[in-house]
A and B are shown apart, each in its own frame.
Chain A
Amino acid sequence: MFRNISVLIAFFICSISLGQNDSLIKLKQITVTDSQLKNFSIAQSTIVLSDSVLTKNQTSLTDLLRYNSPIYFKENGKGMVSSPSFRGTTAQQTAVIWNGININSQLNGQTDFNTIDTRNFGSISVRSGGGSVIYGSGAIGGTVHLQNEMRFTDLFSNKISVDYGSFSTLGINYNIIASNDNVIAQANVSHITSENDYEYIGYNKKNSNGEYKNTSFSTQFGYKVSNTTFLKFYSFVFDGDRHFSGTIASPSKSKYLNLDTRNLVEVINYSGRFTSKVKLALLNEEYKYFENKESDNYSFGKSKSLIAKYDLFYSISSKLKLNSIVDFSRNSGFGSSIDKNRREISSFTLLLKQQVYSNLQYEIGLRKELTTNYESPFLYSFGSLFSPFKWYDLKFSASKNFRVPTFNDLYWQGSGNLDLRPEHSLQGEFGQVFRYANIELTTTIYFSKIKDMLRWVPNSSGVWQPINTDKVEIYGVETLLNWKKKIRKSEINAATTYAYTVSENELTQKQLIYVPYHKFTGSLAYGYKNISANFQTMFNGQVFTSSDNVNSLKEYMVSNIGIAYHFIKTNTSLGFQALNIENKPYQNVASRPMPGRSFKINLTFNF
């Protein structure tokens, strides 16, 4: 395996030195590190949530995506553990990609969307459908991309934002950017603390053990070594302290601490038709769970990942691009119920994109992983984009994707199963984009079959063990509609998403639990001079909570409003938000009510 890597690396090094004779290309002022999201995603629908959308939303990734994407979230009460169901898949089948690096937990395979504070990122994108060829394990339902852009321009800006609202919720955010043509330094600190003692509407009870606080810190540093070589550093730290809420009838006294750190160093070299990137990432995750917050007893889990990537992009001609990625990662995990274990995975990815005609292009991706832990399938993807008219695009894509067993699945004491295979899915989708005036309508139909789904079931001696058991068949429709309009001094932005999802266990023909058939989101933002106002709403259809589809949670519709005024003289904004304006009781996980109506005021200083 190592010989293969060194041979490949040698090959790439040769390619670079050959390519360096070519003339310099113009460099973009704005760079992102996850270039595949732009270059190799022609056939899949992507929602980009820019800075201006992020500031209008609540700061947890859960709330942002709940109101702006088709993803369904299972949240154990406001601020508690939150996991996604994207296109009818499980929590482990959505990959979260931080600046091009997959950050799903090595321990449980998923990301807790309440441990990501959106203020740390310049933009957040949601890419529907499979992406394992590029992003690896877990990119089955789709991927969520957390991006930090770097702009090499003269800038010095500071922003302090404070908000205070119901349930003694205080948020503070400070952001600084200092940059010129050669150097950029950016830092962001966010802190949020909340008593979170909201009322359980209709039960005469409060969320008694739901208080939380967290601090997150992100930095980016970029240095232009020469006109062709850039050095970049990214880091993202999240330090959370939550008491876990109980249920309606059950008090809780538990506490959960987690500390996640992610660091990434990247060297980019542009030479002629080649762009090479060497990336080195170090990810750490650690949690402590206290059954009783007053006690010193806790259970814990830790994992460390080292990821080394070599990414070479070769623009053979203006119409033909080739991208190869060699990736080596070493993960180690350890915990109160997991013996210390380590695994090493090497992967090789080849991506090709060709513009056949001015209105037709296609892309192909291939990936193979080598590891001693499990038999890894050969992954592939194909996508095409046909634009016969200015107002119409036709997209088609198909791919094979996978999700590898986690450390918990493999090594949990007494339960771990070393004979697991990765879950794998074969999927296809067909999308159309219509554009008219300022309206863009995207509709995608998709079909997906997932095999070898991992599920924990009791074995014959009553011990719960993960096995490759279920087959799931998923199909559905996703619709995105956007409208933008500027009339003199006013500006209107409207965005809606709708998803219809059928996700059935093939054997029982029953819908998977916690997958709604229908989900709709809508947002409307209006700006006039210094005033802006926005409205957002979400409809979530009924979800089943038991696999026999007997028990369920009712559908709900929740709406928020916000208004803000910008004082030009002082470069200050004052905002006000009302959430769940109709004070509706709802649950997205059984027995765990969400808050009723709440308010928040926000003050932002720019200097």
Chain B
Amino acid sequence: MRRSPATAAIALACGLALAACSQVDVPERLSGPVSSTTTTAAPAPPPPDCGDPVASLRPTGAATANVPAGSYMAEIKERGRLRVGVDVSTLLFSSVDPFTGEFEGFDIDIAREVAGALFGDPSRVELVAIPYSERLNVLIDGTVDLVSDTFTINCRRREQIAFSSQYFSSGQRLLVKSDSTATTVEELGPDARVCAARGSTSIDNLNALPEPHPEAVPVDTQTDCLVLLQQGLVDAISTDDTILAGMAAQDPNLSIVGPAFSAEPYGLGLPKDQTEWVRYVNAVLEQVRSSGRWSALYERWLADVLGPDPGPPQAVYSD
């Protein structure tokens, strides 16, 4: 069949019209990103009763490098190093020197004392940085042998792990900007926002204050609180005065104010049901207290910011 030019033109036009039917998929206009929001902490359930929470197992003798075969300590010695969970950002207690890359602080040295007793060499320690919220989990799953991380002893935690005897006494206080007139949580007022690390006792203590109390703002690490305070996103930080001292040392425009409104006894976190190991660590702490080593460590790390040596807390034993 012959086709005239007009027919060809019509065919071309129809072809174009058909082509118009085969369109590229064009999505609707897209929505923007969703901003993240800060969550507030849920109120903590009432703590269980475990008697005297700071009471630990009595040492059975001096802590030496000769450990019973088949014991948890022997297991550690066989491995060749003590695994310790620590924080990277609590200045004076446990932080990394950015220039040397080495961990340093009071808690680090306490951990080294344990390694020194076990191996005769305080450097036989593997320091594992952990967030505050993971301190229980790393002991439960066996990632570390010990947590040395401004760890407050309390009954709720003792349901899941064991603690050494108390090796430091702290108390929860407030860190505010130096121009703030507030010296207590009450003076901050109910509209204030107070930051504390998620999973810490500080959050529980803030939520346990009589109503109306300031809003507790939980964050993953203590130093996140310092960032929020420096940026004016919270009005204060409330946690142990030991930790606040490390923060104040990083910013001269901040001050620790008011009396402690809680007692925070620090212990070394240990795996539950490892009684030999708990007694061994308590023996090490006894040596640290009695030898004057504790006071030496306090002088080295804390005396400048927390005042004169108060002496080590007395150990309390349950048996």
The judgment on whether A and B are partners is no
- List residues of B whose CB falls within 8 A of some A CB: none
Chain A residues packing against B (C-beta within 8 Å): none
